[in-house]
Chains A and B, each alone.
Chain A
Amino acid sequence: MTRRRASYEGVVATVPVTVPYVRYSIHSAHWWLGKALRALIDGSGLRKHDIDGMCVSSFTLVPDTAVGLTQHLDMAPRWLDHIPMGGASGVVALRRATRAVQAGDADVVACLSGDTNHVDSFRQTISQFSRFAQDAVYPYGAGGPNASFALLTHNYMRMTGATREDFGKLCVAQRDNALRHPNALMKKPLTLQQYMDAKLITDPIHLFDCVMPCAGADAFLVMREEKAVALGLPFVRILSTIERHNAWADDPIQYRGGWSMDKDDLYEQAQIGPGDIDFMQAYDDYPVINFLQMEDLGLCEKGGAPQFVRDNTFTVDGTMPFNTNGGQLSGGQAGAAGGYLGMVEALRQLTGTAGGTQVKDAAIGLVSGFGLINYDRGICTAAALLARGAA
């Protein structure tokens, strides 16, 4: 075991903001990120130049990166990061920013994620997603990640005995949660029967297993605790975090993620166990990935997620509240903001600002990220344990 990691004490996350998602937008990613930054300023009472650190995640910002964005938004940060990790960006941004603030390299870091969605941008993003995808996946016809996840789901079902009903139950629970959340794009109730009868996309993936690409932005601030107190901002403590990339490369088909390599470290640093968690926000590009996260983060044993799903409700007012804002499956996938969706929802839960989706007495939350299907599997995994900041 490596040297014990330093704690994140003294640094907090605060001011979760969302620029409400829309299916299509005629604006560019710069607009969405600019709106998010403005919301952070409005929500914190800080001036723009008080923010001296910036961390950006976006696919459609191309040809720009975080660098171009500084000039676009007229910022002069002394700490700048660009995190191209898709679904893992939220946790990773928090990790990076916390250490920067802790070390004094920045006072206040704005963690921003956002993407636009023009009518044709999904197809274009996909075709240039990665070199391996271009060379060895895209020519095989799916024109998106559906087929890769179909193969993964197929394998998972064979290994564990998971059924479509199991996936369906979780999707329906997330939709129930979404109906309490004003910004979720899906506003109609979903029944298990509708889930089962949905259009076949790529066996065994059906329509309601897929997220809807959309435009949107999510963001939050990282600063020292005393600064948050001085500004009168409710905040969240970071108990522990992990990240891992390209784990278990020898598994023929992805059956476990990098979380399982680092889960013990995650709980040990936080000095809690999976039983202490009040809710979980997981990265849900497809239901099977939720199942992997439940197992690999120790909510149940490996292969036990189907039973775990049968045993819990996952609704805001039920057992093991899960993706309380509806997740991406019901909220929409706003590109890289999909990697922040669970993070900002967790920050709302733990600052008591979640409104209709508030989990009663939520004190400790688990946020998990999964990013970037590069060839045949997702590469980046990350997770954070967060706690309500004592008032």
Chain B
Amino acid sequence: MTQPLSKPPRKNPVARTRQPTLPPASRSRRTLGLTASAAAGRFDLQVCQECRAVQYPPREVCHRCLSDQLLWQPVAPRGTLLASTTLHHSNDLFFRERLPWRIGTVQLESGPRAIAHVHGDCEDGKPVKLALKLDRSGQAVMIALPEKATPNMEDDKVLRETSCDPKFRRALVTDGKSAVGLAVIKALLDAGATTVFAGDPHTWKKNRAFDALCEDPRVLPQALDITDTDSVERLSRSIGGKVEILVNTADYAREGGILHNRDLLKAQDAFNVNCLGLMRLAQHFGPAMAGRGADGTANAVAWVNTLSIYAHLNLPSRGMWSASQAAALSASQCLRNELRPAGIRVVNVFSGPIDYEWEQLTPPPRVSPSAIASAIVRALRDGVEEAYVGDVAQEFLARMHDNPKGLERELGTQS
């Protein structure tokens, strides 16, 4: 039985804040394949295309037939916990601060054995479920979980150290008035966030749904215009040290390509919100979050960007906006590497057309703001780095892997 996490006490302002340390992050290049799986929440191992042998730890050639045709493929995430032990001593700084720590040997159903972090509810000799998760260093680790969900299992410290669960954490939703922002505020509250700071980019604009949400004492509206550096700085000075999860929901979406829009105002606005806005937020909120990356059980953990799938490949009918999304994606990659030393995860949630006023002319299927919000909460709980919401996004991802050039052509014939 996992001891349920209790609400962390108020921070003692005179005590030293524990500084972030990371678990060992060094991996061979081949093993970064595990990192790719974990980042997307998959359980992929190398499978030999000649003899079907499953490999772990990752190999250069098949351990059985020596073929180099090893592909990362989904493998049954099941096994048996052969033996476990609890570390009461470690030479590693990160684990020293988190002792006692349980690990074990798991016999995978698919063949290999793995050393894994072991959830407290797993029993020696019994079946376990396996997951590949990103640890605080941003690299993949194996975790053995109970076969069936147990009460409060997400509160086990082995899981809490790899997830970014909103439970008992405080979050900032940068644009709380957008359709997605409203849904995200609600979803975070439902997921157990103690406080949601709701950014309000247009205090003069009346929004009944926003006002209704703000009646909840856990929701604190904050004036925040991410196109205005002063506004971002002002808010960061006020609440920056309290933000444990930041969800950037700001988006400036407009129609139109490049060739016949010589007036670049639309493009400037899109870049100003979608890319420069992200940079402003990063510069003012990032350092404060990084300083609290290991601050107890409610440490700063995640930075979430809501992006369009067209950040990957330009949708010409919304060409300028797509370009700003691509710029934001690039900026997020920089941010991801810059925040990693603090153990803060940058999560990009990609969606296709959203079901709101700025996609009025886009035929269905469109993804509902609440679906995006639940995907964000799920990504935080699962500790993934990337999520694709809805059928359009999933299909886009599959087509992009299959034939990116072909998809680029086809996007040009889509209105």
Q: Residues on A close to B: CB < 8 A?
A: 122-123, 126-127, 131-132, 134-144, 146-148, 150-151, 154-155, 158, 199-205, 252-253, 375-376
B106-143: CB near A (< 8 Å → 1, else 0) gives 01000001111100000000000000000101010110
How many B residues, CB 8 Å from partner? 38
Contact call A147/B87, Cβ cutoff below 8 A: yes
**A253 in contact with B82 given A132-B57, A140-B141 (CB within 8 Å):** yes
Give 17 CB contacts A-B under 8 Å: A123-B91, A131-B28, A135-B27, A139-B141, A140-B103, A140-B117, A141-B87, A142-B92, A142-B103, A143-B91, A144-B91, A146-B87, A147-B87, A151-B115, A154-B85, A202-B87, A375-B57
The CA of A199 and the CA of B25, in the complex, are separated in Å by 29
B89 at the interface (CB under 8 A from A): yes
List of B residues within 8 angstroms of A143 by Cβ = 90-92, 95
Tell whether, in the assembled complex, residue B89 and residue A202 are in contact, meaning their CB atoms are under 8 Å apart: yes
CA distance A253 to B91 in the complex (A): 24
B35 smallest CB distance to A (angstroms): 11
Assuming the A-B contacts A136-B56, A136-B115, A253-B82, are A127 and B107 also in contact, with contact meaning beta carbons closer than 8 angstroms in the complex? no
* Complex alpha-carbon distance, A366 and B91, angstroms: 35
A126 to B95, CA, bound (A): 15
When the two chains form the complex, which single residue of B25, B58, B88, B92 contacts A203, counting CB atoms closer than 8 Å? B88
User: Do residues B26 and A127 form an inter-chain contact, with CB atoms below 8 A?
Assistant: yes
Instruction: Give the complex CA separation of A253 and B114 in angstroms.
Output: 11
Given contacts A123-B91, A141-B92, contact A134 B28 (CB under 8 A): yes
**Extra inter-chain contacts (13) besides given A131-B57, A375-B57, CB under 8 Å:** A127-B24, A131-B28, A139-B24, A140-B103, A140-B117, A141-B103, A142-B87, A143-B90, A144-B91, A151-B85, A202-B85, A252-B105, A253-B113
**A204 to B83 CA separation, bound complex (whole angstroms):** 11
Distance between B350 CB and nearest chain A CB, rounded to angstroms: 28
Max count, chain A CB within 10 A of own CB: residue among B31, B56, B90, B116: B90
Contact indicator B105/A139 (Cβ below 8 Å): no
Residues of A within 8 A of B31 (CB): 135-136
Residue of A nearest to B107 (CB): A252
Does B84 reach chain A (CB closer than 8 Å)? yes
Q: Roughly how many angstroms separate A71 CA and B85 CA in the complex, as a whole number?
A: 46
Given A151-B83, A201-B89, A202-B87, is A139 in contact with B23 using a C-beta cutoff of 8 Å? yes
CB B96 to nearest CB in A, in angstroms, measures: 8
Which chain B residues have a beta carbon within 8 Å of chain A's beta carbons?
23-28, 31, 56-58, 82-92, 94-95, 101, 103-105, 107, 113-117, 135, 137, 139, 141-142
Q: Report yes or no: B86 in contact with A203, Cβ–Cβ below 8 A.
A: yes
Secondary structure type dominating chain A contacts: helix
Residues of B within 8 A of A203 (CB): 85-86, 88
A126 to B142, CA, bound (A): 20
Distance between A117 CB and nearest chain B CB, rounded to angstroms: 14
Cβ–Cβ < 8 Å partners of A139 in chain B: 23-25, 27, 135, 137, 139, 141
Please report the C-alpha to C-alpha distance between residue A118 and residue B57 in the assembled complex, in whole angstroms: 31
Q: Which of A141, A142, A204, A252 contacts B82 (CB 8 A)?
A: A252
Q: Which residues of B contact A138 (CB under 8 A)?
A: 24, 26
Cα(A138)–Cα(B23), bound, Å? 9
**Closest CB-CB distance, A95 to chain B, in whole Å?**
27
The answer to whether A201 and B26 have CB atoms under 8 Å apart is: no
Instruction: State the CA gap A200–B88 with chains docked (Å).
Output: 7
Task: Say whether B101 contacts A141, CB under 8 Å.
Answer: yes
Complex CA distance for A137 and B28, rounded to whole angstroms = 13
The CA-CA distance from A127 to B27 in the complex, in Å, is 11
Question: CB < 8 Å: which of B28, B85, B87, B101 contacts A135?
Answer: B28
CB distance from A332 to the nearest CB of B (A): 18
Residues on A with C-beta less than 8 A from B101 are 141
Contacting A376 at CB < 8 Å: which of B88, B105, B117? Answer: B105
CA distance A202 to B83 in the complex (A): 13
Bound-state CA distance A136–B113 (Å) is 10
Residues from chain B with a CB closer than 8 A to the CB of A144 are 91
Query: How far does the alpha carbon of A151 sit from the alpha carbon of B107 in the complex, in Å?
Result: 13
| Complex Cα spacing A127 to B24, Å | 8
The answer to whether A134 touches B85, judged by C-beta atoms less than 8 angstroms apart, is no
A21 CB, min distance to chain B CBs, angstroms: 21
- In the bound complex, residues from chain A placing their C-beta under 8 Å from that of B142 are 136
CB distance from A370 to the nearest CB of B (A): 19
- Quick one: which of A132, A143, A253 has the most chain B CB within 10 A? A143
Distance, CA A141 to CA B115, complexed state (A): 11
Q: Which 5 A-B pairs have the closest CB atoms?
A: A143-B91, A141-B95, A136-B57, A143-B92, A150-B85
